Amino acid sequence: MSTVALVPNPHYDRAQELAKSIEAWLVERGHTATAEVGDADLVVSIGGDGTMLRAVDRAARHGTPVLGINVGQLGYLTEVDPELWPVALERWEDGRAAIVERMLLSVQVDRAEGSGPPAPDDAPEPSSDGSFLALNEVVVEKTPLGRMVRLAVALDGDFFATYAADGMIVATPTGSTAYALSARGPIVDPAHAALVLTPVAAHMLFDRPLVLTPTTKIRLEVRGERPATVAIDGRSIGELQVGEAIVATAAPTPARLVTFADRNFHSILKAKFGLEDR
């Protein structure tokens, strides 16, 4: 029998109700349901893509696969419609589920100890080495009340350019359809391994996104006179002061997502953007 960790969105009543139903189903079949991810054989995310990102952040540290049940709008990450969760779990139980691996970012923050205001209560937790994991992206951008920021970009230790912009996004292929897409970054099939560096509203002639090898180490350092904020998969970890930086590259371990191979990236794109056959 298996141990299954349930991670419902705490703000969705329907997610909480589904979690109770799933727990009862698991116990009836002899499995153990828990809220602790560390010892689980499977993590079930119940919510939207935001809930899935938080579940992946916790599960990837242990190499645990994550199954996403969608209780929101159409998402890229959540695999199962809410009414089909018994079918999905039966297929997982019978060994008929597949696991796909998605590249993660490893993000190191280089700043003075105690710099800036404390991180918000819902900030992601760093790994034991102080790095953060991201399935979608890390964003360095202007503060809510600030004007544009100046960010010096270095690639593998070599200075590349200083951008004057609202911010910069370092995304994975999975994250290319998240914030980076709204900044006119390229859409990259999530089966690839790459880093996508996308400026947000750059105030300069060169404003094109870059698609880089996954082993590239991208350093974004705050220059000028204004601080910047840092967010990882949509959750703020606080401010960077002038001279402070983040370094992003591919994480050594991937995220592991449960799939049933009955939908693909291209069909999700078509549904998301309303692309009809003509």
Per-residue pLDDT tens for 79-128? Answer: 899 999 999 999 999 999 999 999 999 999 998 776 666 677 788 889 88
Which amino acid does the sequence have at 115?
Answer: S
| Gap between the Cα atoms of 267 and 272, Å rounded | 9
- The answer to whether residue 13 is catalytic is no
Q: pTM for the complete prediction?
A: 0.92
Across 83-92, 197-206, 265-274, least confident range? 265-274
Predicted confidence (pLDDT) per residue in 136-171, tens digit: 999 999 998 888 999 999 999 999 999 999 999 999
Residues 6+ apart with CB under 8 A from 114: none
Catalytic residue among 13, 39, 49, 166: 49
Task: Confirm if 94 and 43 have CB atoms less than 8 A apart.
Answer: no
Residue with tokens 């050594």: 252
3-103+255-273: which CATH number, 1.10.3720.10, 3.40.190.10, 3.40.50.300, 3.40.50.10330? 3.40.50.10330
Between 146 and 204, the higher pLDDT residue: 204
Question: What local confidence, expressed as pLDDT, does residue 123 receive?
Answer: 84
What's the rounded Cα separation, in Å, for the pair 34 and 8?
12
Second CATH level (architecture) for the domain 105-250? Sandwich (2.60)
